[in-house]
A = this chain, B = another copy of it.
Amino acid sequence: MITWNNLDTLASFKELEKVERVNLVEAMTGESGAERVKNYSVPMAEGLTYNYAAKQVDDKVLAALAKLADEAQLAEKFEALYNGEVINTGEKRLVLHHMTRGQLGEAVEADGVDKRAFYTEQQAKIADFANKVHAGEITNGAGEKFTTVVQIGIGGSDLGPRAMYLALENWAKKNDTFKMEAKFISNVDPDDAAAVLNSIDVAHSIFVLVSKSGTTLETLTNESFVKDALKNAGLDASKHMIAVTSETSPLAKSDDYLAAFFMDDYIGGRYSSTSAVGGAVLSLAFGPEVFAQFLDGAAAEDVLSKNKDVFKNPAMLDALIGVYERNVLGYPSTAVLPYSQALSRFPAHLQQLDMESNGKSVNRFGEPVDYSTGPVIFGEPGTNGQHSFYQLLHQGTDIVPLQFVGYKNSQMATDVVIQDSTSQQKLCANVAAQIVAFACGKSDENRNKNFEGGRPSSIIIGEQVNPGSLGALLAHFENKVMFQGFVWNVNSFDQEGVQLGKVLAKRVLAHETEGALKVFSDLLNI
């Protein structure tokens, strides 16, 4: 029997608050540090490992976190979710994004169909379509092959797919699975669409219009923008566009599109990279086999997330440590720092995933909570960040918990030896060095050169950014965010906070404003 309780009503949380704080400098120095790095480690899927040695935890804190996981029924709640309970209570919806990549539990029927069958069928349709495009069986109006795919979408229809595309672009080129360049149009700023259109050969481009509801204003506006461009080039827009939408949307049956592929209301935008939202553009760019490997990696990680033993469940453990940092240690933000240029936009995707899911002040029953929920998430790839905001991370007045990601191998295997090491070795040496620098610090009589240390971090270590490991990495964070939502007792699957701005923007465009909004509208010449 599942019960949904606020974090501050749980006995295990009160116990957790009483556990003695860990002195991270001491813990990570000398032999005890070496032991921690060896022991505080959980295998993930696809050769990844989650290492939490440099987090501000010890066996006592971890035992308390395990009790919290039990009392908050994290494993049971995940089970309920993947077995089809209405976990998105605000919108009265199931939460089925895991099912886009595997069957974790019972079959789930909704809208009169088996949902796993529905998602696999969509993926099969996309694969068939992509293969035909690559084979030149589906072409532009002149019978020529498409060379570029352009995704038109915003939010979850943009950030996730874009981050995944960038993550795999060079891997695919190196591994001869690269099929077509992908571009993305998202912003309602007309310069976004104009710049992308200027950079491509529209006659050989296929556009993927992505909107679940078929009503997203930015996306429909950019669709018109693109259709104008196609028309001006003397092209038939309906021969250049496909739609990814829900079956009930106005786009679903339109003759305006070469084809339509479907997702549904059980896939939140920020959780949609493994659905048709990511599937169409990534299958066109890299081939359906690559997308299938990506799904397999995510599915394998999902299976680990089912584990009731928190020490064998990396996403759950990561989530709990994050809650400890947020609600006991009081740290307000978290930085995501992948040491991989391929993951340059992965932090931006996690920023949406995390902040839109758990940036809530009411619990799932609509009652205000008296504790902090989701933190601010930000990040840039290393080593770039080291030459930017790391100054504050090392010596600022606030402590920012860190989430590193590092890989043993590069994607392209083109490297150079300078001062007896390759660039890849330098990259890895830097992430190792940073973890220890943040945790241990270094005393200096010149206080300006003094490092207090005690700044916690974890690292996910992998062999290489490739489709499988990327899927596993993505699923890890999706599940981490889900578990944190369970602990905070919030609904991680709605986003009512985005509504008010939309309503007011419409009012501005209709010139139905007064007061401050009217004056701002005038200042902006609307």
- Per-position contact with B for A172-190: 1 when CB-CB < 8 Å, else 0? 0100000000000011111
* A390, B359: Cα distance in complex, Å: 9
Is A106 interfacial (CB-CB < 8 Å)?
no
Q: A249 an interface residue at 8 Å Cβ cutoff?
A: no
B520 contacts A435, CB within 8 Å? yes
Minimum C-beta distance from A51 to chain B (A): 7
Q: Which of A357-413 contact B (CB under 8 A)?
A: 358-362, 366-369, 371-378, 380-384, 386-398, 400, 406, 408, 410-412
Does A113 have its Cβ within 8 Å of any Cβ on chain B? no
Tell me whether A192 is interfacial, beta carbon within 8 Å. Answer: yes
Q: Is the CB of A448 within 8 A of B38?
A: no
Is A495 located at the chain interface by the 8 A CB criterion? yes
Q: Are the CB atoms of A28 and B516 closer together than 8 Å?
A: yes
Residue in A429, A446, A491 with the greatest tally of chain B CB atoms within 10 Å: A429
| A423 lies within 8 A of B33 (CB) | no
Q: Is the CB of B437 within 8 A of A515?
A: no
Q: Does A519 contact B (CB under 8 A)?
A: yes
A448-B498 contact, Cβ under 8 Å, with A359-B392, A359-B396, A387-B154: no
A34 CB to nearest chain B CB (Å): 5
Expressed in whole angstroms, the Cα–Cα distance for A428 and B189 within the complex equals 9
Cα A397 to Cα B520 in complex, Å, equals 27
A111 within 8 Å of B by Cβ? Answer: no
Q: How many residues of A contact B (CB 8 A)?
A: 160
Report if A432-B524 is in contact (Cβ < 8 Å); known contacts: A186-B384, A221-B418, A340-B189: yes
- Are B498 and A390 in contact (CB-based, < 8 A)? yes
A3 lies within 8 A of chain B by Cβ: no
Which of chain A's residues 222-254 have a Cβ closer than 8 Å to chain B?
Answer: 222, 224-225, 228
B497 pairs with A423, CB closer than 8 A: no
Query: Least Cβ distance of A162 to chain B in Å?
Result: 10
A416–B49 alpha-carbon span in the complex (Å)? 49
CB distance B386 to A501 under 8 Å?
yes
- How long is the Cα–Cα vector from A218 to B188 in the complex, in angstroms? 37
Q: Which of B37, B155, B366, B433 contacts A523 (CB 8 A)?
A: B37
Residues 452-477 of chain A: 1 if any B CB is under 8 Å from the residue's CB, otherwise 0? 10000001010000000000000000
A341 interface hit (Cβ, 8 Å): yes
Contacts known (A341-B195, A497-B395); A388 close to B188, Cβ less than 8 A: no
Contact, CB under 8 Å: B392 / A524: no
By the criterion CB–CB under 8 Å, are B498 and A387 in contact? yes
Q: Is A195 within 8 A of B170, CB to CB?
A: yes
Q: Mark A320-344, 1 if CB is under 8 A from B, else 0.
A: 0000000000001100000111100
Contacts of A269 in B (CB 8 A): 387
Select the stretch in A63-71, A132-140, A503-511 that faces chain B: A503-511
Out of B170, B358, B397, name the residue touching A361 (CB < 8 Å): B397
Contact B427 A189 (CB under 8 A): yes
| Most chain B CB neighbours (cut-off 10 Å) among A28, A361, A367 | A361
Contact B221 A416 (CB under 8 A): yes
Chain B residues with Cβ under 8 A from A255's Cβ?
none
Q: Does A436 contact B (CB under 8 A)?
A: yes
Residue of B nearest to A222 (CB): B423
Asked, given contacts A189-B340, A424-B189, A523-B461, whether A387 binds B155 with beta carbons under 8 Å apart, the answer is yes
Contact of A416 among B170, B225, B422, B509 (CB under 8 A): B225
Chain B residues with CB under 8 Å of A159's CB are: 384, 388
Contact check, B423 vs A189: say whether CB atoms are below 8 A apart.
Answer: yes
Docked Cα-Cα span, A437 to B499, in Å, equals 10
A505 and B433 contacting across the interface, CB-CB below 8 Å: yes
List B contacts of A340 (CB < 8 A).
189, 191
CA distance A419 to B494 in the complex (A): 27
A-B contact pairs, 10 of them (CB 8 A): A155-B387, A190-B423, A194-B412, A269-B387, A332-B398, A333-B376, A376-B400, A429-B506, A432-B526, A448-B496
Assuming A221-B418, A355-B391, A432-B504, what are 8 further A-B pairs, CB within 8 angstroms? A30-B515, A187-B427, A224-B418, A355-B389, A359-B391, A361-B395, A408-B525, A432-B505
Q: Which 9 A-B pairs have the closest CB atoms?
A: A359-B392, A155-B387, A33-B516, A433-B504, A359-B396, A378-B378, A352-B388, A394-B497, A395-B497
